[in-house]
């Protein structure tokens, strides 16, 4: 990713974090919302306009640049061996998921049957793996990038498919906090790729929403899992009819 793209990605994260939209930016710059969307899409924001947006976000342009540089040095993915280390230890896996979701040390200790010593031990392992930095007072600083993800087909994904996927779908999805949408249709290869890009944007929106709600107490938030999947696939029931 180019530095311009990285800078604008950092800017968009700051906008989302403060609950601002393209409509707000359009008002600040005295432009139409469509023009603002085009400027971001084409990466044609001038320094003057960047400074204007930063000013409305309560920061200087150099602070935005520093945020971008810090983000670029954050961890984007673990190695296969590192993921396997987490997948092989259920308690470590639990703590890893908690810290990636913004839990504090006290949140983990209070919500799960882990002693302070156990929590500390697991957090030190995660620190060695580069996921976090354990600060004085048991404060946890995440060191993962906004686009951090588990390895496709890696140990964590395999663990999910083997142990969690079945339990996840063992629901009628009728509660207010649940929804299951299954879509089926015919797409070209180009259409399939376009839909995958839309799914990826939905994933970014999900992470952005999680970031915005980090200011809320942990007691007002609950674990929410969303599975977004795209496959060129046909149920085995119809395999015998294939030509």
Q: Is 137 exposed, middle or buried (0-12, 13-18, 19+ CB in 10 A)?
A: exposed
pLDDT band for 18, please (50, 70, 90 cuts).
confident
Q: 3: which residues sit within 8 A by CB, 6+ positions away?
A: 68
Give the domain CATH number at 131.
1.10.10
Contact 181, 168 (CB under 8 A): no
Looking at the domain assignment, is residue 164 inside a domain? no
What separation, in Å, do the N-terminal and C-terminal C-alpha atoms of the chain show? 44
Over the stretch 114-152, which tens digit does the pLDDT of each residue have? 899 999 999 999 999 989 999 999 999 988 877 788 899
Same domain, 187 and 211: yes
- In 10 A of CB 140, how many CB atoms? 23
Residue 161: inside a domain, yes or no? no
Chain centroid offset of residue 135 CA? 23
Domain boundary among 96, 123, 142: 142
Q: Which of 91, 121, 142 is the last residue of a domain?
A: 142
* Residue 119 counted as domain residue: yes
pLDDT of 6 above 60: yes
- Structural domain tally of the chain? 3
Plot region of 220 (φ>0 → left; ψ -120 to 50 → alpha; else → beta): alpha
Q: Do 75 and 143 touch, CB atoms closer than 8 A?
A: yes
The pTM for the full model equals: 0.64
**Is residue 160 situated within a structural domain?**
no
The answer on 176 and 227 residing in a single domain is: yes
Closest CA to 19 of 215, 198, 202: 215
Answer yes or no: is 60 within a domain. yes
Q: Is residue 7 located within the same domain as residue 66?
A: yes
The reply to whether 40 and 93 lie within a common domain is: no
Do 95 and 64 share a domain, yes or no?
no
Distance CA 218, CA 224 (A): 13
Is residue 28's pLDDT more than 90?
yes
Residues spanned by the domain of 10: 3-72
Name the one residue in this structure whose structure tokens are 């890696």. Answer: 154
Q: Tell me the per-residue pLDDT of 180-230, one tens digit each, with 9 for 90 and over.
A: 888 888 889 999 999 999 998 888 888 888 878 887 888 888 888 888 877
The mean pLDDT of the chain is 87
Asked if residue 243 has pLDDT above 60, the reply is no
- According to DSSP, the residues that pair with 139 across neighbouring strands are 135
Q: Which of 14, 40, 72 is the last residue of a domain?
A: 72
Q: How far apart are CA 239 and CA 243, in angstroms?
A: 9
Instruction: Establish if 30 belongs to a structural domain.
Output: yes
């Amino acid at each position: 990713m180019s530095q311009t793209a990285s800078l604008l990605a950092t800017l968009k994260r700051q906008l989302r974090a403060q609950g601002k939209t393209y409509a707000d930016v359009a008002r600040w710059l005295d432009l139409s919302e469509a023009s603002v969307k085009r400027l971001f899409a084409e990466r044609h924001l001038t320094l003057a306009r960047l400074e204007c947006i930063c000013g409305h976000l309560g920061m200087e342009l150099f602070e935005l640049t520093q945020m971008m540089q810090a983000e670029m040095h954050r961890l984007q993915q673990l190695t296969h061996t590192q993921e396997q280390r987490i997948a092989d230890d259920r308690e470590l896996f639990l703590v890893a998921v908690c810290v990636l979701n913004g839990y504090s040390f006290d949140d983990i200790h209070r919500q799960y049957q882990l002693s302070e010593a156990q929590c500390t031990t697991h957090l030190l392992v995660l620190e060695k793996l580069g996921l976090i930095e354990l600060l004085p007072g048991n404060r946890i600083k995440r060191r993962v990038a906004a686009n951090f993800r588990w390895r496709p087909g890696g140990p964590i994904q395999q663990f999910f498919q083997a142990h969690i996927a079945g339990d996840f779908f063992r629901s009628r999805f009728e509660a207010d906090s649940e929804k299951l949408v299954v879509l089926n249709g015919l797409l070209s290869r180009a259409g399939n790729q376009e839909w995958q890009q839309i799914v990826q944007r939905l994933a970014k929106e999900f992470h952005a929403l999680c970031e915005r709600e980090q200011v809320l107490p942990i007691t007002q938030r609950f674990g929410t899992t969303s599975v977004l999947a795209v496959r060129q696939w046909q149920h085995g029931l119809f395999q015998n009819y294939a030509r």
